[in-house]
């Protein structure tokens, strides 16, 4: 055979091989443009102050989901003393005139912005609230003091978090107590009803620029705030995160549990992008439980409680704004 025909026939065979190989490789999605730097650069270019809504074009990952990656923090936020805002924290968070800062009212959908407890639940809450400053029983110690996971709602309001996305999953990571929240967006069903999880079982789906997260299977043992507001193992949360602009996510969760509440109620927050101008910022290990040294001293004796109560009354008197 002539040399040219020899190589031509090999060429056909090689082409066949290449086609076979290409079709055998599974197509894999990369996370695409998840580098927070382009967003930061865009913010600087926009030149607007942080308090103004910026003109903003949604950015998408290669799998089509909106790119929300980066660091976020509730503003106002950073402390969950009382989620209803009706009980300003007495000992600090004082304003310039010595009065406590007004509380942040996050609860809505109820007549007075309070959590609509069943009678038994209201009594349980009141008992906890009256004893949180001087906990003479273990149940009066806030769950955060034991580094227990904050769980739904409180976990997002109390500390900043980082959003990381990968095809089929949105992950929320908090440095505080190394909290991790995993939200599958692949449409899988919830786990079996007999499983209770500290963070609950979460399922997310997108409605345009709103992420809707359905939370079931909660253990119901995390508290909603320091005063003792609580939920139970049957509580159902539906969260709506709406990207308002480049730097802002509006959050509203509907909380339903006929065993604990007389009606569903809502809790809201606003998350603001942070560390935009600090591209080397990283979440670090917190190791909350590992660092705990006083766990056995959190519950105090009745005598110590009495001393505390007297000292608190004195401090309140001393911090009263001067009479006009």
Partner 1 sequence: MKSRIVVSRFRILLAVTAAIFLFYVSGAHAQRPAEKNIPRTAGGKPDFSGFWQALSTANWDVLAHSAQKGEPAGEGVVEDGVIPYQPWAVKQQQENYKNRDAADPENKNYFPGVPRITYSPFPFQILQTPNKILILYEYLHANRQLRFTGERPSGHIDWWLGDSRAHWDGDTLVVDVSDFNDQTWFDHAGNFHSDQLHVVERYTLIDADHIQYEATIDDPKVFTRPWKISLVLYRRIEKNFQLLDYVGYAFDYEKYYP
Cα–Cα separations (whole angstroms), residue 166 to 29, 281, 298? 9, 20, 40
Tokens (6 digits) for 128: 């906890």
The backbone torsions φ and ψ at residue 316, rounded to the nearest 5 degrees and listed phi first, read: -65, -40
**Alpha carbon separation from 295 to 142, 143, 198, 230, 292 (Å, rounded):** 12, 11, 20, 22, 6
Tell which one of 112, 277, 282, 303 touches partner 1 (CB under 8 A): 282
> In the set 112, 277, 285, 317, which binds partner 1 (CB under 8 A)?
285
**Using the rule CB under 8 A, which residue among 44, 123, 195, 304 binds partner 1?**
195
What single DSSP character describes residue 75? S
Residues 171, 163 contacting (CB under 8 angstroms): yes
Task: Select 36 or 77, whichever has its Cβ closest to partner 1.
Answer: 36
Quick one: residue 250, left, alpha or beta (phi over 0 = left, psi -120 to 50 = alpha)?
beta
Residue of the chain from 70, 149, 155, 204 that contacts partner 1 (CB under 8 A): 149
Which range in 83-91, 97-105, 262-270, 275-283 contacts partner 1 by CB under 8 A?
Answer: 275-283
Query: Of the candidates 44, 52, 259, 289, which one interacts with partner 1 according to CB under 8 A?
Result: 289
Of the candidates 148, 212, 305, 312, which one interacts with partner 1 according to CB under 8 A? Answer: 148
Gap between the Cα atoms of 203 and 208, Å rounded: 16
Applying CB under 8 A, the span of 104-112, 159-167, 270-278, 306-314 interacting with partner 1 comes to: 159-167
CA 70/CA 247 separation, integer angstroms = 10
Return d(Cα 209, Cα 25) in angstroms, integer. 33
Among 66, 79, 176, 178, binds partner 1 (CB under 8 A): 178
Q: Which two tokens stand for residue 172?
A: 């929320």
Nearer to partner 1, 231 or 271 (CB): 231
CB 279 within 8 A of CB 37: yes
**Residue nearer to partner 1 on the CB measure, 48 or 197:** 197
- Regarding 290 and contact with partner 1 (CB under 8 A), the answer is yes
Residue among 138, 208, 302, 322 that touches partner 1 (CB under 8 A): 138
Q: Is 126 in the site for partner 1 (CB under 8 A)?
A: no
Question: What is the size of the binding site for partner 1 (CB under 8 A)?
Answer: 68
End-to-end Cα spacing for the chain:
113
As given in the structure block, the two tokens for residue 256 are 């339903």
Nearer to partner 1, 97 or 290 (CB): 290
Cβ burial of 305 (10 Å; 0-12, 13-18, 19+) is middle
5 to 44, contacts with partner 1 by CB under 8 A?
5-6, 8-10, 12-13, 16-17, 20-21, 24-26, 28-32, 34-35
Residues numbered 221-250 forming contacts with partner 1, rule: CB under 8 A: 221-223, 230-232
- In eight-state DSSP terms, residue 73 is E
* Closest C-alpha to 132, from 221, 229, 226: 226
Site of interaction with partner 1 (CB under 8 A): 1-2, 5-6, 8-10, 12-13, 16-17, 20-21, 24-26, 28-32, 34-35, 62, 137-139, 141, 143, 146-149, 164-167, 169, 171, 173, 178-180, 182, 184, 188-189, 191, 195, 197-199, 219-223, 230-232, 280, 282-285, 287, 289-290
């Amino acid at each position: 055979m002539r040399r040219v025909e020899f190589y031509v026939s090999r060429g056909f065979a090689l082409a066949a091989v290449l086609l076979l190989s290409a079709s055998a490789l599974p197509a894999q999605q990369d996370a695409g443009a998840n580098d927070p730097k382009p967003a930061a650069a865009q913010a600087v270019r926009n030149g607007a102050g942080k308090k103004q809504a910026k003109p903003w074009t949604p950015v998408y990952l290669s799998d089509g989901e909106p790119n929300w990656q980066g660091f976020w923090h509730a503003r106002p936020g950073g402390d969950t003393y009382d989620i209803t805002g009706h009980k300003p924290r007495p000992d600090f968070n004082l304003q310039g005139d010595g009065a406590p800062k007004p509380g942040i009212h996050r609860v809505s959908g109820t007549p007075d912005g309070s959590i609509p407890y069943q009678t038994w639940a209201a009594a349980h809450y009141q008992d906890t609230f009256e004893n949180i400053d001087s906990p003479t029983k273990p149940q009066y110690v806030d769950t955060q003091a034991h580094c227990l996971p904050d769980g739904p709602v409180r976990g997002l309001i109390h500390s900043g978090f980082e959003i990381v996305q990968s095809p089929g999953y949105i992950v929320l990571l908090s440095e505080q107590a190394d909290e991790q929240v995993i939200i599958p967006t692949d449409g899988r069903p919830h786990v079996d009803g007999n499983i209770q999880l500290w963070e609950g079982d979460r399922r997310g789906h997108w409605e345009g620029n709103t992420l809707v997260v359905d939370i079931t299977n909660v253990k119901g043992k995390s508290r909603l705030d320091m005063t003792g507001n609580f939920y139970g193992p049957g509580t159902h949360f539906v969260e709506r995160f709406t990207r308002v602009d480049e730097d802002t996510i509006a959050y509203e969760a509907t909380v339903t549990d006929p065993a604990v509440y007389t009606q569903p109620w809502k809790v809201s927050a606003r998350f603001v992008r942070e560390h935009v101008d600090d591209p080397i910022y990283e979440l670090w290990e917190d190791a909350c439980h590992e660092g705990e040294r006083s766990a056995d001293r959190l519950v105090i004796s009745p005598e110590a409680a009495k001393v505390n109560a007297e000292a608190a009354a004195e401090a309140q008197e001393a911090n009263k704004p001067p009479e006009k």
